[in-house]
Structure 1
Amino acid sequence: MKQEGIQDQPDALSPEETAALLTMSDSFIQEAVHMSRHYAGCSRHPSAIDPTRWKRIAHVRDLAMYKERRARWRLGSKRKLGSRLANKEYVDDSTKLLPATLMIGTFPGDLESVMFGLQSSTEDATRLRASYLGDNLVDEKLLAAPLESPSYDNPLRSCTLRWRGIRSGTAAAKVASGKIFSSRAIETVYIESTGITELGNGERVGYELLQSVEVPGLGGFSKNGRRQAIISYCYVYRQPSPDVMEVFMLGSTSRDGVLLGAYRQMRFALPFRRKVTRSKLAFCGRCLQRAEETSPLTVAAFEAMEQGEDFDFDTFDSSIPPLSHPSKWSSQCLDVDDDLAMTILGD
């Protein structure tokens, strides 16, 4: 993976680095799931949202976006900001997190389809996701080996180390060639963790974590000496009833990180028959019917088997609970106070 323009970029992380990143992502996801329970059903009862803390800034269909009020944000401004792995000696105005963002609401779909649409554990899947998002501003690239890869037993779980940067001029060609740190002024290295876990009460919830990290040889400072942008978001997905999904998102970003997708489009797979029939594309009706009748979990399982045959990397076999392997971990959820928000916003 080493190429000119990337200094000391490892082909794979050490077991210690992998274990640290998995532990960090697991703890963030636990706290996000714990926090989401406070807001379950709030999309139907918006008056339950604390108006002294949250100000609604956007509303699209059944999705509402809130921003933390400045007064409440300043109360926690002395808390640690950004990634736990970040060097606390270099916190400056450009890397401080903006007020927190909260999103709650519902949309049509089912849990397995949503999580299948979110997953992009390979370069091909990443390019495919970028194509249907229509994102011409931001480039993404996988770095090193996946921390966790989908398996036949758990095909919707993955954890990858990624790079994201603003596309500008000829820089897109440098991304394609692997020279990703040569000219970007706004960029970040982050982990993306997705999957489905089962709570102690039997409820299945999906999660997606986007968390900037600093790994020696992969991130920290860009070539021009500026610190990288920070993104720190976690999404939790529930299915309260058939064909209805409920989403909870909490997180923040540094000022530069807004351009890297803080308010990015929601990515999920829906039954596309209505969209396809309205489009000008010609599709085989029988193929569409088979696609609708096939479980996303089945498709993901077969894709995981194919990746397992062709994949060159040996992924780290972590024995660290709770989310590194499928288990019921709701009893281990941290008992945090709602006013503390999530650890991704500070301790």
Structure 2
Amino acid sequence: MALGSALPVSAKFLPRVRLTQADVAELSALADESVRETLLSYEEYLYGQNRQLDMKRWKIVKENEAVKVYRERESAPHANARDRKATVEIGPKASLAASTRMPLMLVHGTVQGTIEDALYGSYADDTSSMRRRSMYEKDLMEDSAVVASLESPTLEAPFQQSYLSWLLRDFPGLNAVIRRRDFLLVNKMGVTTTSRGERIGYQLEHSVEHRDLPELTQAGIVRGKYSHCLVLRQLDPSRIELFNQTVVDPGGSLMSYIAIQESAESLLSCGHMMASSQKKKLFYFMRKQARANALSSSRANGTRLSNASLSPGASVLARHQSMDRDVSDRCASCEKSISKLFSSGGVCCQICQQVRLRLVACVCVLLYRPWVSDKLRLPSPPSLCRLTCQIICSRCSLKKKIVIEATEKKVVLKPFVFCLACTIRATKFSAEQVQVEELRERQLSL
């Protein structure tokens, strides 16, 4: 079936991409060359310029906390497209820069965390994980998909991978004047070293062409191009440096100013890698605890585990029902006293019809809080940490929106409450260990 304007454009309607051995070799070589080209630029900044940006060359476009996006000034010596090609050793990014009217863009800054945290937050190996990452990093992509795999990670090198991806970029509020853009990219991620032996991580996205996925002109979509390779270097045990020179060719007749602003907004998403890593770790702990609770429940009941019982939310009721009904009056984190909602004479829960010394001790309030608050007009009970199942006060709780399902049809994002201790634990937990365990789970499920 041909793609046309009458069909909705999404990943599920894309034609299948078939890679030959020659395709894989060519795309892998292109990715390797693009990474090498970026490392040369980074080493010039790191060793040649002593990590000092030339502000006569770069102008700030956007910034978010300690991450800034710059554009090359028109008056800069290398701003002319013809000069760019002559001043940099010819490579994939330099070739694209020489063919576009757009200025070179630069991302620079620092974020809290480790190289492994950043790679884990940005890691994706299928359409589901790409959409989960897109939701966490807020990269402004309307749709995305992994269309072919080039290199799979191993337990020894859990972040070393490359694949072919497709992205669809929408422009909310500007659709009347700007057509959507799509991108076909070769992606590569991994860890390497500089010429002086310093360990760095990298994440590459570089535009390519393939016969099985031509431009979707009949659907009113413009094929854009860009070359983006984010370099990650550990500055100290808890902070990394970000460096990324990006070339963008939006295609069509999009005004340069709009293209620069929209590109800068997308580039800032790299600053959300750590938040993505933290939420993915929290979900990992949720799944791990759900399996443990389901296993414990099955042993107690003498039943076998089902696939449904292994989901993060399947054992919620069982966990709460097994809790001591006499819930502590103190916050599990700060031990602050939590006032009783009802007198010691007891109250009948209007959901389960059981008499409780106080309604906060009833599992129904914890499971059906929105219904209880709206229908019975009762004060909101203290929060319950999703991992420890302990009562926590509002000051010691954090609400995180976690993607619990990501498929071709939908992405389900739900808020969960966690205590500060669990949030800090997830943040500091080894991202590489989580990645290895998740890879091992996938291998066992095949």
Shift of 1:19: 0.9
Work out which of the residue numbers 204, 207, 220 in structure 2 matches 1:209.
204
In structure 1, how many angstroms separate the alpha carbons of the residues matched to 2:92 and 2:216? 16
Shift of 1:134: 4.2
Shift of 1:100: 0.2
In structure 2, how many angstroms separate the alpha carbons of the residues matched to 1:59 and 1:41? 25
* Partners of 1:97 and 1:255 within 8 A in 2: no
Shift of 1:195: 1.4
1:306 and 2:441 correspond: yes
* Partners of 2:69 and 2:267 within 8 A in 1: no
Shift of 1:285: 6.7
Aligned to 1:162: 165
Which letter does structure 1 place at the counterpart of 2:418? F
In structure 1, how many angstroms separate the alpha carbons of the residues matched to 2:33 and 2:431? 27
In structure 2, how many angstroms separate the alpha carbons of the residues matched to 1:213 and 1:115? 23
Q: TM-score, normalised by structure 2?
A: 0.54
* Partners of 2:115 and 2:234 within 8 A in 1: yes
In structure 2, how many angstroms separate the alpha carbons of the residues matched to 1:109 and 1:83? 31
Structure 2 matches for 1:88-127, cutoff 5 A?
A: 96-127=100-131
1:268 and 2:403 correspond: no
Partner secondary structure for residue 218 of structure 2: coil
Superposed structure 1 runs of 4+ greater than 4 Å apart = 41-45, 77-80, 82-85, 134-137, 224-227, 256-262, 270-273, 284-290
What is the number of residues matched between the two proteins?
A: 284
In structure 2, how many angstroms separate the alpha carbons of the residues matched to 1:150 and 1:295? 17
Shift of 1:198: 3.2
In structure 2, how many angstroms separate the alpha carbons of the residues matched to 1:235 and 1:70? 24
Aligned to 1:70: 74
1:141 and 2:276 correspond: no
Name the structure where helix makes up a greater proportion of residues.
2
Shift of 1:111: 1.1
CA separation of 1:31 and 1:277: change in aligned 2, threshold 3 A: farther
In structure 2, how many angstroms separate the alpha carbons of the residues matched to 1:279 and 1:44? 41
Aligned to 2:399: 279
RMSD of equivalent CA atoms: 3.9
Q: Relative contact order, CA 8 A, sep 6+: which one is greater?
A: 1
CA separation of 1:289 and 1:230: change in aligned 2, threshold 3 A: closer
Deviations 1:193-225 (A, max 9, x none): 111123454422010111110011123463368
Give 5+ residue unaligned stretches, structure 1. 170-183, 312-347
Work out which of the residue numbers 50, 57, 60 in structure 2 matches 1:56.
60
Structure 2 matches for 1:1-347, cutoff 5 A?
A: 5=3, 9-40=15-46, 48-71=52-75, 72-76=78-82, 79=85, 84=92, 96-134=100-138, 137-144=141-148, 146-167=149-170, 185-199=180-194, 201-220=196-215, 222-223=217-218, 228-256=223-251, 262-266=266-270, 267-269=272-274, 272=278, 277-279=397-399, 281-283=416-418, 288=423, 291-292=426-427, 294-310=429-445
* Partners of 1:7 and 1:217 within 8 A in 2: no
In structure 1, how many angstroms separate the alpha carbons of the residues matched to 2:71 and 2:109? 15
Partner secondary structure for residue 118 of structure 2: helix
Deviations 1:142-183 (A, max 9, x none): 113x111221111112211111113489xxxxxxxxxxxxxx
In structure 1, how many angstroms separate the alpha carbons of the residues matched to 2:111 and 2:84? 36
State the identity %. 23
Which letter does structure 2 place at the counterpart of 1:143? V
Compare CA radii of gyration and give the structure with the larger one: 2
